[in-house]
Amino acid sequence: MKRMRKPNIDAHLTVIVTDKNGKVVLRKRFKSRSFVVGFLNALYNNFSFTSLNSLYCFQSPNIVVGSGTAKPSITDTGLESQISNGTGAGQLQYGTDSLTKPAANTNTNTGSMTWSKSFTNGSGGNVTVSEVGAYLQTSGTQHFILHDLLPSPITLSPNQVLTVVYTITIST
């Protein structure tokens, strides 16, 4: 009898730093280990309200970055120290979130999608990023769903761009 694999959901985090000319100066990929309870709350709200009003399902995706160093916890509701959007000291300019349509691979029984956002250092000084997280809004409620501490902080020089990419994969 063939043994069945357990259903699974995984996320990987890729961080890419480019200089002002678009040249990649750093690229790292690692397994995201920090879905937080907000992920389940977002799914619950989406499932609960889908039949009532589909206009309220999964809205306003928002990847954020921060300078906190605390280990993520299952009950986190936000980053320890989120970096503000702007061009002032210690700030980064937040780009627009981009999502790819989920794709299924019937040969491997997997499906995946990517979610990305770029952050530009227009502050004139160095800005250090050590944590990444993500929010989803469902049914009018914002949920913090992912929180990752980077294996090592990334310091962005002026005019460098950090692109954060979450790849979410499911399998059966």
Print the SS3 string covering 59-104. Answer: EEEEEEEECCCCCCCCCCCCCCCECCECCCCCCEEECCCEECCCEE
The predicted-structure confidence for 2-51, as pLDDT tens digits, reads as follows 555 565 888 899 999 999 999 999 999 998 877 777 776 776 666 454 44
Which two three-digit tokens encode residue 135? Answer: 């929010």
Hunting for tokens 């530009």 — which residue is that? 120
- For the chain, domain boundaries: 8-171
Q: Taking the model in full, what pTM does it have? A: 0.84
